[in-house]
Structure 1
Amino acid sequence: MSLAAQSVPRMPRGVRLHEDRVRGGWVLLAPERAIALDQIGHAILSRIDGTRDFGAITRDLAESFGAPIEDVARDSGEFIEALAERRILEVGP
């Protein structure tokens, strides 16, 4: 899978971001799974709302972190694709 700029990632029913106040930090909760997130993972997932396309998410991340958009697109695309392969995220046209 290769994400196009117009692809729209979304969290399926039952998947959500959760702040773990006990341990500090964020986790991605999915049925029978919990994935601890680093700052980058949280930054990417917090921008996924089911309406913004990958291009908009990438531009926002690049502007927020002052990083080259090509690097952000590659890295965030790989992250989103890995979660989609595990059926934790969905990616639509």
Structure 2
Amino acid sequence: MSPLSVDSRPRVGAGFRLQWEPAQSCHVLLYPEGMVKLNGSAGEIMKRCDGQRSIGEIVAELEAAFNAQGLQGDVRAFVEMAAKQRWLTWS
């Protein structure tokens, strides 16, 4: 996997599936051995990781959606952590 940059296009890793879980009122990441319950911020980032949007586009969408600035560092840190868990990959 190439180093993460603002042009990287993250997507959910093989073997994982992201979905909204109404019973838990949150996004969850399903995999054959179990489930990861995501907090609100993680869910908002993960649902935008569709392999089409770049990191820069994801950050811009989040900043607009939540009327916030300076989210790039937080988004990047989460994506890098998620990649270590194999939840995300990118091109």
Same fold flag (TM > 0.5): yes
What is the CA deviation profile of residues 29-74 of structure 1, one whole-angstrom value per residue up to 9, with x for unaligned ones?
Answer: 1342421111111111111111111110110001111111xx3111
Give the number of the structure whose residues are more often helix, by fraction. 1
* Residue of structure 1 equivalent to 2:75: 76
- Report if the CA contact (8 A) 1:27-1:37 is conserved: yes
* Residue of structure 2 equivalent to 1:57: 58
How far the C-alpha of 1:87 sits from its partner, in A, is 1.4
How far the C-alpha of 1:28 sits from its partner, in A, is 1.0
- Report if the CA contact (8 A) 2:12-2:18 is conserved: no
Structure 2: runs of 5 or more not aligned: none
Aligned Cα root-mean-square deviation (Å) = 1.8
Number of residue pairs aligned between Structure 1 and Structure 2: 90
* Residue of structure 2 equivalent to 1:85: 84
Tell me the TM-score normalized by structure 1.
Answer: 0.83
* Residue of structure 1 equivalent to 2:36: 35
Is the counterpart of residue 23 in structure 1 residue 24 in structure 2?
Answer: yes
Moved more, 31-40 or 79-88: 31-40
Question: Which letter does structure 2 place at the counterpart of 1:87?
Answer: R
Percent identity of the aligned residues?
Answer: 32
